[in-house]
Amino acid sequence: MKACIITLPSGKRTCPDVSSKRLSLLILSFLLLSTPFFCLYNYSFSPWRRDMELVYRRSSLPSSRAFGLVNQCDMFSGDWVPQVKAPYYTNETNCQIDDRQNCIKFGRPDTEFMKWRWKPSQCELPPFNATLFLELVRGKSLAFIGDSLARNQMQSLVCLLASAADPVDNSYTADPRFRLWFYAEYNFTLAIFWSVHLVKSEDADANIYPLTSQTLYLDEVDEIWANHIEKFNYVIISAGQWFLRPLVYYRKGKLIGCYACNKRKITGLSMYYGYQMAFRTSFRTLLNLENFKGTTFLRTISPQHYENGGWNTGGTCVRTRPIAKDEIRFEEYFLKLYSTQVAELIAADGKGKKRGLKFRILDPTDMMAERADGHPNHYAHGPGANFTNADCVHWCLPGPIDAWNEILLQVLQSEYNATSLMDKSTPPNQTNS
């Protein structure tokens, strides 16, 4: 039985075989555009995805392998393997877990979803070491920019670090969507900036557009994060599901079109266009910030796993074990979102080299496709929660999302090692540019 784990924005459950002829043309176009990048990066292509003839080739990505992880290992290609060890933390650990991801607290009866660990194919992924992480970021700062999945990863990280240090909440607002944690012993700042579209956005006029429509100013970055980001050493940026709803697009202060707004007199534009421009504007902002010297990571889009319906049509995620690779099928819209954000990262990386700025990728998309068992489903509650809708988007804490931060630790370790090696290779009477 094949599992079509990604639902359409409409909530419909279709998972057709993607046309080989059509996608072959798309692949050829993408390869031609990305050819210069192929010479720089070499990313393994997951065997279970070959039959889908994807619109991208992972050999075109700025991968973990290319950026010097342990033994040149691609950390994002591998398998989930059983483990007998207890998770790094529990829902009673002294850290902040959003009730909407606190699955054990709200009665999830099974625990097997916490008993799997990610194992890269080419090497070992060391267990998370909170003290090592904090030493690597001593005197530095790290910010997550994005939606509730960015918060999901940030809270996972805070809980993982709880075994070594307790942070002070130095948030500049009471709004829980914006948090700033300070680890005094390590002089380390960890922040989350809620920005679901990355660019300036607001509710669209409900008298004109569908009720859930959002207006996006595609050439204006969201100052919520842009005004605070310049001095951060590491930035992890992401966006996803919010681009599936009706969108109204503005550029240079003028209406240029909309997605799914059902207005005949307004130019119809795709959600991919808005997604592309949001990342383009965000990366351009980071490139143009005079004092920004940090490393930017794109965290690729995270899969949802609704089955037997969509998020608002009775879909659920009741599995208690990971999905087998040969069961998985992505839908075409999801692949296009993925390839769109990666293409913008590739472009930004090329421009960043001229300024000495690093653009990297955290690419958990493939590995999380197997973890349909890791979502809250109905075992989570939040303010004003709708208990009839299952949550098959976010990840239970503790849960498989902790692997993102295990890999993040290794990325930071490799960055530190590379910098140390460069410093050692510089003659004493010279400095790095």
The H-or-E segment that residue 329 falls in is strand 328-329
Of 205, 223, 221, 225, the residue nearest 213 (C-alpha) = 205
How many residues can be counted in the chain?
433
> CA angle, corner 192, sides to 218 and 139, nearest 5?
120
For residues 64 and 74, is the Cβ–Cβ distance under 8 A?
yes
How wide is the angle at C-alpha 63 spanned by C-alphas 405 and 243, nearest 5°? 70
Find, among 301, 296, 250, the residue nearest to 273 by Cα. 250
What's the first-to-final CA gap in the chain, in angstroms? 56
Beta strands 214-221; 247-251: pairing state: parallel
Q: What span, in angstroms and rounded, lies between the C-alpha atoms of 113 and 168?
A: 31
Residue 90 has pLDDT above 50, yes or no: yes
* 370, pLDDT greater than 80: yes
Q: What is the CA radius of gyration of the chain?
A: 21
pLDDT at 5: 52
Q: What is the spatial order of strands in the sheet that 199-203 belongs to?
A: 199-203, 214-221, 247-251, 254-259
Asked whether 253 and 211 are in contact (CB, 8 A), the reply is no
Between 187 and 424, the more confident residue is: 187
pLDDT band at 14 (very low <50, low <70, confident <90, very high): very low
- pTM, to two decimals: 0.85
Question: For the segment 314-346, what is each residue's pLDDT rounded down to a tens digit?
Answer: 999 999 999 999 999 898 999 999 999 999 999
Angle at Cα 48 formed by Cα 330 and Cα 371, nearest 5°? 60
Catalytic residue annotation: 148, 391, 394
pLDDT, tens digit, 9 for 90 and up, residues 282-303 = 999 999 999 999 999 999 999 9
Q: Which among 198, 175, 180, 101 has a CA at the least distance from the CA of 141?
A: 180
Report angle CA 256, 259, 264 to the nearest 5 degrees: 70
More confident residue, 422 or 143: 143
The region, left, alpha or beta by phi > 0 then psi within -120 to 50, assigned to residue 384 is: left
Phi, psi (degrees; rounded to nearest 5) at 221: -70, 155
Average confidence score pLDDT of the chain: 84
